[in-house]
């Protein structure tokens, strides 16, 4: 392989997003000259997106956005202006498929969710189902 299309930093810690306190973006820019076509980050909140985009000339972003998580929507105009972006977790790790409920047990990465997290998502899914039934 001669190059990588896009290098994405996966959920970097907020303190790594500030280019005034870190020099790893200089390395990414160097890599862009030789081995990568673009770089970006997988981010969860508008604040993270805003910090990242104000410090760097990245060409891509993966934002946590779905029916339950709407904070990244505040960055849509910025993404349109810069002509980059994509969404991640559009089905909220499967919850928006209707496949899971408060009794679901996970043996994959979702096992990190507490019983409270699972109940919260189940309540949200049930609210969506009720809303759709009313419409």
| pLDDT one-digit tens code per residue, 70-88 | 998 888 888 787 777 777 8
Full residue range of the structural domain in which residue 56 is found: 1-90
Q: In the prediction, which pLDDT does 116 show? A: 95
Whether residue 116 sits in one domain with residue 60 = no
- Nearest partner of 28 among 20, 16, 38, judged by Cα: 38
Whether residue 131 sits in one domain with residue 84 = no
Whether residue 67 sits in one domain with residue 108 = no
Tell me which H or E stretch contains 8. Answer: strand 4-10
Confidence of residue 89 (pLDDT cuts 50, 70, 90): confident
Give the pLDDT mean for 19-28.
78
Beta strand 60-64 pairing with 4-10: unpaired
**Sequence-ordered alpha helix ranges (H) in the chain:** 24-34, 46-55, 76-82, 115-134
Entry pTM: 0.71
């Amino acid at each position: 392989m001669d190059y990588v299309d896009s290098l994405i930093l996966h959920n970097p810690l907020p303190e790594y997003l500030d280019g005034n306190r870190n020099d790893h973006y200089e390395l990414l820019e160097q890599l862009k000259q030789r081995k990568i076509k673009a770089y970006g980050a997988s981010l969860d909140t508008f604040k993270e997106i805003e910090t990242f985009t104000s410090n760097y000339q990245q060409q891509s972003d993966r934002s946590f956005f779905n029916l339950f998580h709407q904070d990244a929507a505040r960055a849509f105009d910025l993404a349109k202006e810069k002509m980059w972006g994509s969404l991640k977790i559009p089905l909220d790790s499967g919850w928006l498929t209707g496949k899971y409920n408060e009794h679901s047990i996970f043996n994959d990465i979702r096992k990190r969710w507490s019983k409270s997290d699972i109940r919260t998502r189940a309540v949200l899914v049930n609210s969506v189902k009720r809303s759709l039934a009313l419409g």
